[in-house]
Structures are given as C-alpha cells and as structure tokens.
Structure 1
C-alpha cells in the first residue's frame, strides 16, 4: 500500500472508530487493525492518536466549511449569508467535536482541553482563510473584521459547549446565539 493510500486508510478507520466508540475508547491497536496495517505503520504516519484525531477533525470541518461557503451565496443579502454561514459552521464544529471526541471527555481531561486549544486555533485559521478566499466575503469584509467575527463566534460556541449539561442546553444556547448575539456580531463586522 503506498503512503497516500495508507494515510487515507488510517483516516477512514479513525473516522469510523472515533464516531462509533469515541476518541477516548479507541486504541491505536484498533485503528491499525481497522486500517489493515501494522501498529508501527500507523506510527510512521501519525506519531500519536491525537494527531490522527486532529487530521480527521480538520478534514471533516474543511469539507463542510467549503460546502457551506459555496451554497446559497447568491440567494441572500450579505448580513443574512454571513450570519447563516457562521451559525452553520459553529454547529458543524460543535457536532464534530461531540461525535468524534465527546464533550464529556473534553471537559474532564486536561490533555483534551490542551488539545482543544490547538484545534480552536487551527479552526480559526481555517475559517479565516476560507472566508478570505470566498469572492463575496473576502472582497467585501476586511480581514481584521472577519477575524473579530470568527474569533468571537468560536469563543462563544466553545464556551457554551463547556457549560452545557445536556443536548437541550446546547440547543437553547445555539438558539440564543442565533437570535440574541449573532445579529450584533454581524452588524459590528459590517460597519
């Protein structure tokens, strides 16, 4: 198996196993077995289970952000499009962290919180670069204002992910974010 195919096989195995059992309950041995490779081959491509998690999450988020940014841009005014895009990207980010890692594990583990900071920074960079590359957004809104919108939205969503006790709390927080906070963030961004 060539290197690219091996990496894809490892990512597919990780995506499947992390979704099924969660990050914490999936071992490198299980990842290697699911990918039909030796454990040493896994470590040749990813030096830790955390790195494969990061690769899988970023791939998933990148694909969804591109899809979100390319849909319906011509069907809405810029403030509506921006608000809908931020909301959808925030929901994707929350969902992927919940599905692959589990917020309970993230809240309880110091290592997971350290990792979440890295993920948060990489996510911010991904979103900013994706928004800047988008012809409508990048040509209309200065980078520093996009940075404000993305950083603030990301911090708000991550904060309620840490404080929510149940899925119902998360839904209420997203509704509150959408109706009470996001319109003002978009308005401040577009001033």
Structure 2
C-alpha cells in the first residue's frame, strides 16, 4: 500500500472509532485492525495514539474553518462576519473535542491536560493563518489584533468545558459568550 493510502485509512478508522467509543476507549490494536494494517505499520506512520488524534482533530477543524470562512463571506459587515465566524469556529472546536475525546477524560487526565495545551496552541496557529489568508479579514485586521481575538475566544470557550456540568450549561455559556463577551472582543479587535 502507498503511504498516503495507509495514512488516509488510519485517519478514517480513527475518526470512526474515536467518535463511536471515544479516545480513551479506543486502542491502537483496534485502530490497526480497523485500518486493515499491522500494529507495527500503525506505529510507522504515527508514533502514538495521541498523534493520530491530533491529526484527525486538526484535519476536521481545518476543513470546517475553511468551510465557515468560504460560506459566510457575504455577511452584512466586518463586525458581524468576524463575530459570527469566531462563534461558529468556537462551536466546531468545542463539538469536535467533545465528540472525539470527551470532556470527562480531559478533565480527569493529566496527559489530556498537556495534550489540550498543544491542541490549543496548534488551533490558534491554524485559525490565525486561515483568517490572515481570508481576503475579508486578513486585508483589514492586523495580525496582532486577530491574535488577541483568537486567544481570548479560545480561552473562554475552553473554559466552558471545565466549568460546565451539563449540555444545558454549555448552551447557556455559548449564549452568554455570543451576547455579552464576543461583541466587545470584536470591537476591541477592529478599533
């Protein structure tokens, strides 16, 4: 098998198994079996289960960020476009972490906390580069101001995961973020 095909099969298996069973309950043996490869072949392409998780999450988030940026360019004004884009991206990020990893595991595992920091940094870089390449945002908003907006929004959204007890709490937090915080962050970014 060609390397790209093998990596694609591993990623597909990981997406399916992580969503179905969660990261913590999916073993490398199951990933290899579902990919129809030997365990050694899995490790040839991904040194750990954490690395395949990271690849799957970043691919998924990047696809969704591009989709969000491309679909909603025609919104009324830059404030609205930027606020709605940040909100949509925040929801995607929260949802993907919930579906693939599970917040209970993240809250309870020291390794997951360390991984979440790496994911957070890589997510910030991905969002910043995607936003800077977007003609509507990148041409108007300086990089340092976008960095401010992305960091603040990301930190607020990740805090939801650690403070929310139920899905209703998360919904309430997102509504509060959208109405009470995000407009001020966007205004500060565009000033």
TM-score range, shorter chain: over 0.9
Would you say 1:94 and 2:113 are equivalent positions? no
Match in the other structure for 1:39: 39
Q: For the residues of structure 2 that align with 1:45 and 1:76, how far apart are their CA atoms?
A: 45
- Matches for 1:125-164 after TM superposition, within 5 Å: 125-164=125-164
Match in the other structure for 1:3: 3
Structure 2 gaps of 5+ residues are none
Match in the other structure for 2:68: 68
RMSD between aligned residues: 0.5
Q: For the residues of structure 2 that align with 1:22 and 1:107, how far apart are their CA atoms?
A: 14
Q: For the residues of structure 1 that align with 2:130 and 2:137, how far apart are their CA atoms?
A: 9
Once the two structures are superposed, what CA deviation does each residue of 1:98-134 show, in whole Å capped at 9, x if it has no partner? 0000000000000000000000000000000000000
SS of residue matched to 2:74 = helix
Q: For the residues of structure 2 that align with 1:64 and 1:6, how far apart are their CA atoms?
A: 23
- Matches for 1:46-65 after TM superposition, within 5 Å: 46-65=46-65
User: Runs of 4+ in structure 1 displaced over 2 angstroms?
Assistant: none
How far is 1:76 from its partner?
A: 2.0
Q: For the residues of structure 2 that align with 1:185 and 1:103, how far apart are their CA atoms?
A: 26
Match in the other structure for 2:104: 104
The two structures have a TM-score, normalised by structure 2, of 0.99
How far is 1:148 from its partner?
A: 0.3
The two structures have a TM-score, normalised by structure 1, of 0.99
SS of residue matched to 2:139 = helix
Structure 1 gaps of 5+ residues are none
What is the total number of aligned residue pairs between the two structures?
Answer: 191
Q: For the residues of structure 2 that align with 1:72 and 1:139, how far apart are their CA atoms?
A: 17
SS of residue matched to 1:73 = coil
User: Which 10-residue stretch deviates more, 68-77 or 52-61?
Assistant: 68-77
SS of residue matched to 2:23 = coil
How far is 1:74 from its partner?
A: 1.8
